[in-house]
Chain A
Amino acid sequence: MSLKFILLLIPLLPLFGAVVSGLLRKQVGRNGAHWVTIIGVGLSFVLSGWILYQQVFAGLETVNISVYTWMVSDGVHFEVGFLVDHLTTLMMCVVTFVSLMVHIYTVGYMADDPGYQRFFSYIALFTFSMLMLVMANNFLQLFFGWEAVGLVSYLLIGFWFKKESAIFANLKAFLVNRVGDFGFLLGIAAVLYAFGSLDYAEVFARRGELEGKTLAIIPGLDWQLATIICVCLFIGAMGKSAQAPLHVWLPDSMEGPTPISALIHAATMVTAGIFMVARMSPLFELSDAALSFVLLIGTFTALAMGLVGIVQNDIKRVVAYSTLSQLGYMTVALGASAYSAAIFHLMTHAFFKALLFLAAGSVIIALHHQQDMRYMGGLRKHMPLTWITAWVGTLALIGFPFFSGFYSKDAIIEAVAESQRFGSDVAHWGLLLGVFVTALYSFRLLYLTFHGKERFVIAAKDGDESAASHPPDGVLAHAPVESPAVVTVPLILLAIPSVFIGYFTIEPVLFGGWLNDSIVVEQGNDVLARLGSHFSGAGAMAMHALVSAPFWLMIGGFLLATLIYRLRPSLTDLLHEKMPALHRILVHKYYFDEFYQRLFVRRAVSLGEVLWHRADAGVIDGWLVNGSARLVGQLSARVRQWQSGFLFQYAFAMIIGLIGLLAVWVVL
């Protein structure tokens, strides 16, 4: 098998699974649907692992191949092809692994759903799209993957298409993403404008040409072309990676089934923006202004969204806000030119956040689709495996020393501290505070869900049937039980890398130059190199952390959460009373949704109405079209009267006409 063939198989196997399970529903049945997709994705994972093995141990060089020519126009070759370097391989492994776990988990989670096959078809299609995105060797294919994952996300958020909230959320997600894509497409157009090519290798090789080039967007005001390109591309990333102010779709996307929240809205798709900026590092390095913009957007998202996470009651929404906040951390890393740190956090986050989501899903099925944490509590006795794995995920998330999240998050904070870029001071403080906030909402979630008193009751067996099928909140038909092995095994398999992956990979990924073939950092910006100069092993880094600010802020968050949610629950009411304004702002998520609804959604509809009724129907049809018809009608009604049939009138008309003609002739 040639390498090209293997690389082709990696995305095409999941696509095959998606097509078979989606179109041949009758023929393959339920089991066929999950087998064909699981085997497809599983093989993709094995092959990705093989590529990684070849790169690590057999010295496989960067592969850049074209599969076919999509189109040639105006001398520009638009190709479909693969660029497989270390960055790509890392993404491929993460995507296929998490996807495989989610596929297996789905067998248990969606067991009773009538859309079982459709679901497998969608998640396999997602895996294909995501792989096309990360393996692209040009902007066109990147955009294809970018939009295709958006499509699958749209289909999956609205998977339960009878639910009004779900089909609102998926429309919202697609449209907000399209706002980002609007910028992204302009960015791609700007790249073509500047380089006459959309091929990564060519664009990156000729990046020097951008220096000094400007574009007058507003006449007389020349902007750096590099800044325009990077800001436009980053607007795309803001949509996909849910950075404020384009973050509003992600919390609502929790309307979809939990496995896709883990796969798409935590581990992979939402990190596409981070991946893209890291991939474009040769371009972003040319614009300090764009990177400062990235830095500040990330900081705001990291801190502000974490704070909202504290007041959410829906278990999935807490995790969703946590995802927003963590994506903010990654974005800050990008803005500080610590691209490798962003990718490193992307990887560790993929494992522990997928784990947390799947654990939340395990709780949700045990409680018969109850997602409100106010009706949980004390679940650790009933579901010990879920409980332990959730603890592991939480410790990784808050960055407890030796856990994977610790290494990635600490590296980002340290890198930002080193950075000299405009905004890096704010970012540093924001991220430090964010550590405290992360610990606070994470332990709140753990306590409310697994610890304390049970806030649900088991309905009496002799209750009437109708009540049992739709019980009120907090009433369960029978006691919660631990989920089946298809659910818990993926939890365990995700818990392992959540603990260890950071410890073992920090050195090569951040300091050993593993990503050097993909990521370009200007000498003066290389904060990670500066960090690396005093890095002396993963163990030492963890020990050192015990005397650093992030650790103690984390402990602070833990203690506060323990005090409020474990020891003195009455404190929450007190806090609500004492700080009603803050509480209201957080509960309303800073009023972003209300603001957009008023400013854009309603305006767009009323503008459409005005243009249609007033301009189209009123002016054009009313005056011009029907008006001219009326005019002709009225004129002809007048003129018709002249056709009277009376000879003397005709004779007069002829005489008058003759005189008129003579007069004209004489005058001229």
Chain B
Amino acid sequence: MDWPILSILTWLPIAGGLAVLIAGPHRSGLARLLSLAVALATFVVSALLWGAFDPASAAMQFAEIKPWIQTFQVNYHLGVDGFSVPLILLTTFFGVLVIIASWDTIQRNVHQYMAAFLIMEGLMIGMFSALDGLLFYVFFEALLIPMFLVIGMWGGPRRVYAMIKFFLYTFLGSVFMLVGLIYLYIQSGTWAILDWHQFPIGMGAQKLLFLGFLAAFAVKIPMWPVHTWLPDAHVEAPTGGSVILAAIMLKIGGYGFIRFSLPITPDASAALDWLVITLSLIAVVYIGFVALVQQDMKKLIAYSSISHMGFVTLGLFIAFAIFRNPEVATGAAMGIEGAMVQMISYGFVSGALFLCVGILYDRLHSRMIADYGGVANTMPWFATFVVLFLMANAGLPGTSGFVGEFMVILAAFKANFWYAFLAATTLILGAAYSLWLVKRVIFGEVANQEVAKLSDLTRREALVLGILAVAIVGVGVWPQPLVGVMHGSVEQLINHISQSKL
């Protein structure tokens, strides 16, 4: 194929976003339709990408390379492998959903809102396909701006605090990464990420680089103890912002570990894996308990996200413990694939849950659990969806939520019994906070007058939740298409990180 498909995917939504901005504040209807058309077109192109992608090959596909800043050997270099394709698809999928979901819930500055999401979508796709370190960094940082605006303009009452916390946290983390990237460029004379993968680095430098990357990605994903920006950001963000934040932006952290930390600093990753594993398990257990006592539904889901992201980092870093275990021959691939599946799946689940909270919030203007009760009486269809999504959140087999956790737990057992043991506590904790939420919000007698007046899902809401339900059950019942896409890349990554660079 000669089409620059990745450039199209990146720039189509950005151009579309600018067009929507030009449509101006007085033509909201046009802004909506145009946004939807752009998002749909992007999704179609990404589906073509999926179809044309060769999962057997581990090489970067659809690569494009053009000189950008020649003085510093910076290239406009794009390409995708089995790790980026699913994430790009997730991005374009939510690009469509979030526009439908905000169709008439956003009334103020519609064109800016839609444009912000389209531009964000393009930047995320660019980031997931960037193969040049500086280009990646530019996308990575540029992403903050539209999200910053979305929270700042359409957010809740404490949005300024949340916005600044979000910005400073992520910015602080990424500064360390920038230092690392510049160091790599100076040492290797190139910005090409794939060349960095092969570039030999001493242990001391690897450790520093690793910690720099960790600072950036741990904040993004987020890992304990740098997670406290997330609940605040979620609570203040409008529904669409929360959805994109949870469904896609958190995955940037996981993607970063796969693209940078593991292959560029494999020896440091092996030496410091205990650190990441410990923090991951703390996230699973500690945050599970914290989620249990939340009174704000959005905070509960935000904490639940952190706990679930613990599986991603755990799945990625148990690889080294498996290499070290003489009793087992394989297992690392299942951990890494499990981490990827968890990212995609949790994108669906957390996105769906934030949409559900948004649906309640639109009606009652409250996110507090105590203000609800007996919603199933007045919103039976909504209740059905919520129970499904929360069951997926609790990792019920047959839903996507199960697949990633299952794979990571199976792999963790090969690394160390106690890793699996602690990770598996999510079975109890996840069910506890998810179903206690169901009990308090969905079940019971109608709690008050407000709940009695609730109306069930509109067609538009039912469409969005229905699509997500299909995706969640689909991945749960047949994850092979998703897992199959990454086999080649995972295999190559494992071969790569099992060899020392020293």
Show the binding face of A for B, using Cβ within 8 Å: 68-76, 140, 143-144, 146-148, 151, 154-155, 158, 161-162, 164, 167-168, 171, 174-175, 178-179, 181-182, 185-186, 188-190, 192-193, 196, 215, 217, 604-605, 607-609, 611-612, 615-617, 620-621, 624-625, 629
Nearest-neighbour CB distance to chain A for B37, whole angstroms, equals 31
Query: Bound complex: CA of A611 vs CA of B225, how far in Å?
Result: 12
Contacts of B414 in A (CB 8 A): 192-193
Tell me which of B107-115, B209-217, B364-372, B424-432 binds A. B424-432
Nearest-neighbour CB distance to chain B for A124, whole angstroms, equals 16
Given A74-B334, A178-B427, A181-B427, are A161 and B417 neighbors across the interface (CB < 8 Å)?
Answer: no
Given A74-B337, A175-B431, A604-B432, are A164 and B425 neighbors across the interface (CB < 8 Å)?
Answer: no
The reply to whether A71 and B374 form a contact with Cβ atoms under 8 Å apart is no
Query: Bound complex: CA of A339 vs CA of B411, how far in Å?
Result: 32
Contacts of B225 in A (CB 8 A): 620, 624
Query: Bound complex: CA of A178 vs CA of B436, how far in Å?
Result: 14
Nearest-neighbour CB distance to chain A for B110, whole angstroms, equals 34
Tell me which of B11-19, B116-124, B239-247, B439-447 binds A. B439-447
The reply to whether A70 and B479 form a contact with Cβ atoms under 8 Å apart is yes
Contacts of B421 in A (CB 8 A): 186
Within residues 318 to 350 of chain B, which ones have a CB less than 8 A from any CB in chain A? 328-334, 337-338
The reply to whether A196 and B330 form a contact with Cβ atoms under 8 Å apart is yes
The reply to whether A158 and B443 form a contact with Cβ atoms under 8 Å apart is yes
Query: Bound complex: CA of A215 vs CA of B403, how far in Å?
Result: 26
Contacts of A178 in B (CB 8 A): 427-428, 431-432
Within residues 474 to 489 of chain B, which ones have a CB less than 8 A from any CB in chain A? 477-480, 483-484, 487
The reply to whether A608 and B391 form a contact with Cβ atoms under 8 Å apart is no
The reply to whether B410 and A75 form a contact with Cβ atoms under 8 Å apart is no
**Complex interface bits, B138-161 against A, C-beta within 8 A gives 1, otherwise 0:** 000000000000000000000000
The reply to whether A73 and B397 form a contact with Cβ atoms under 8 Å apart is no
Of B168, B328, B417, which contacts A217 at CB under 8 A?
Answer: B417
Given A74-B334, A175-B428, are A188 and B410 neighbors across the interface (CB < 8 Å)?
Answer: yes
Nearest-neighbour CB distance to chain A for B499, whole angstroms, equals 19
Query: Bound complex: CA of A311 vs CA of B387, how far in Å?
Result: 37
The reply to whether A189 and B409 form a contact with Cβ atoms under 8 Å apart is yes
B165: CB under 8 A from chain A? Answer: yes
The reply to whether A625 and B228 form a contact with Cβ atoms under 8 Å apart is yes
Query: Bound complex: CA of A69 vs CA of B483, how far in Å?
Result: 12
Return the chain B residue nearest A198 by Cβ: B410
Extra 4 A-B pairs, beta carbons < 8 Å, given A609-B293, A620-B225: A73-B338, A162-B444, A608-B290, A625-B228
**Complex interface bits, B266-306 against A, C-beta within 8 A gives 1, otherwise 0:** 00000000000000000000100111111000000000000
Nearest-neighbour CB distance to chain A for B167, whole angstroms, equals 12
Within residues 25 to 70 of chain B, which ones have a CB less than 8 A from any CB in chain A? none
Return the chain A residue nearest B290 by Cβ: A612
The reply to whether A71 and B480 form a contact with Cβ atoms under 8 Å apart is yes
Contacts of A76 in B (CB 8 A): 334
The reply to whether A74 and B286 form a contact with Cβ atoms under 8 Å apart is no
Return the chain A residue nearest B286 by Cβ: A611
Nearest-neighbour CB distance to chain B for A255, whole angstroms, equals 12
Contacts of B331 in A (CB 8 A): 74
Return the chain B residue nearest A196 by Cβ: B330
Number of B interface residues at 8 Å Cβ cutoff, please give it.
65
B396: CB under 8 A from chain A? Answer: yes
By Cβ-Cβ distance, the 8 closest A-B pairs, closest first, are A189-B413, A608-B293, A74-B334, A608-B289, A74-B333, A144-B397, A161-B443, A167-B443
Can you list 30 residue pairs at the A/B interface with Cβ under 8 Å? A73-B338, A73-B407, A74-B330, A74-B332, A74-B337, A75-B330, A144-B397, A144-B398, A148-B396, A148-B398, A164-B445, A171-B436, A175-B428, A175-B432, A186-B421, A189-B420, A189-B424, A192-B414, A604-B289, A604-B432, A605-B292, A608-B290, A608-B293, A611-B289, A612-B290, A615-B286, A616-B290, A617-B228, A620-B228, A625-B165
Of A69, A147, A148, which contacts B480 at CB under 8 A?
Answer: A69
Contacts of A154 in B (CB 8 A): 435
Query: Bound complex: CA of A69 vs CA of B332, how far in Å?
Result: 21
The reply to whether A612 and B293 form a contact with Cβ atoms under 8 Å apart is yes
Given A151-B396, A175-B431, are A71 and B403 neighbors across the interface (CB < 8 Å)?
Answer: yes
Query: Bound complex: CA of A74 vs CA of B410, how far in Å?
Result: 11
The reply to whether B479 and A143 form a contact with Cβ atoms under 8 Å apart is no
Contacts of B402 in A (CB 8 A): 147
The reply to whether A621 and B228 form a contact with Cβ atoms under 8 Å apart is yes
B96: CB under 8 A from chain A? Answer: no
B221: CB under 8 A from chain A? Answer: no
Contacts of B264 in A (CB 8 A): none
Nearest-neighbour CB distance to chain B for A627, whole angstroms, equals 12
Query: Bound complex: CA of A170 vs CA of B273, how far in Å?
Result: 40
Contacts of B387 in A (CB 8 A): 155
Contacts of B412 in A (CB 8 A): 189
Nearest-neighbour CB distance to chain A for B89, whole angstroms, equals 18
Of A175, A182, A196, which contacts B435 at CB under 8 A?
Answer: A175
Query: Bound complex: CA of A143 vs CA of B418, how far in Å?
Result: 21
B338, B431, B436, B484: most-surrounded residue (chain A CB, <10 A): B431
Return the chain A residue nearest B412 by Cβ: A189
Within residues 91 to 107 of chain B, which ones have a CB less than 8 A from any CB in chain A? none
Nearest-neighbour CB distance to chain B for A153, whole angstroms, equals 13
Given A158-B443, A605-B293, A616-B290, are A71 and B435 neighbors across the interface (CB < 8 Å)?
Answer: no
